Amino acid sequence: MRPNKIQTIIGIVCGLALLSLVLVPPWQEAAERELSYRKDLGRGLLWSPPKPVAVECYFTGCVTAPAQYFHVLLNRKLLLQECLTLLIVGVLLLWMFRAQRDRNVASLRARGTRLLTSLILALLIPPTGGVPFGAALAGIPMVLIRRDELWLIPVIMIIVMYSACVLIIYCLITFTLWIRDRSGIARGGTSRPVGVS
């Protein structure tokens, strides 16, 4: 079965995004003698990782630890969470925009398709700049099993922030379609205005 035009675009975009995640991965700084210390250094090229940085007040008495005391590691857990979320989102979008038996393809003009697309795309957003919503939502069962002292607060916050992102994406898609329809009418195009709500 050949992919349609939308599936081809989704495949190319997801492939390029996955390639960029792998070529410019997240890095961490770790102490030579302590396994628990990790500090995010941001992203850097795979073949040229960032240099370690000095950490203020690291030693007893607020003594600065020099950069030579640390080494740089690939943040494998975050990279895996980002790549898996992107792959799952790509597969879901490819499946959603597949050609049906009657050769029709889902359209963003349908409210249900817009909502599903918003739900899927919001999974890619990292609320704190690190772990995407997809991985954070998948981690909720582990939080429920562990039940730390304040376990309910992060669960509720993740769900509320995810819902807000879904709503924002839905509104952006709707507004884009509305602008596209209005600009088509202004140019004298033949596209009829679609009631989008």
Query: How far, in Å, CA of 76 to CA of 71, rounded?
Result: 15
| 110: DSSP letter | S
β partners of residue 32:
none
Residue 32's domain comprises: 26-74
Does residue 34 lie within any of the structural domains? yes
Number of domains making up the chain: 2
Considering the domain architecture, whether residues 128 and 160 belong to the same structural domain is answered as yes
pLDDT of amino acid 188: 57
Nearest to 128 by CA among 162, 96, 153: 162
Res. 118: pLDDT tops 50:
yes
**Do 137 and 46 have their domain in common?**
no
* 155 is a domain residue: yes
Select the more confidently predicted residue: 29 or 169.
Answer: 169
The stretch 69-84 carries a mean pLDDT of 90
pTM of the full structure: 0.81
Indicate whether 88 and 166 sit together in one domain.
yes
Q: What is the pLDDT of residue 122?
A: 95
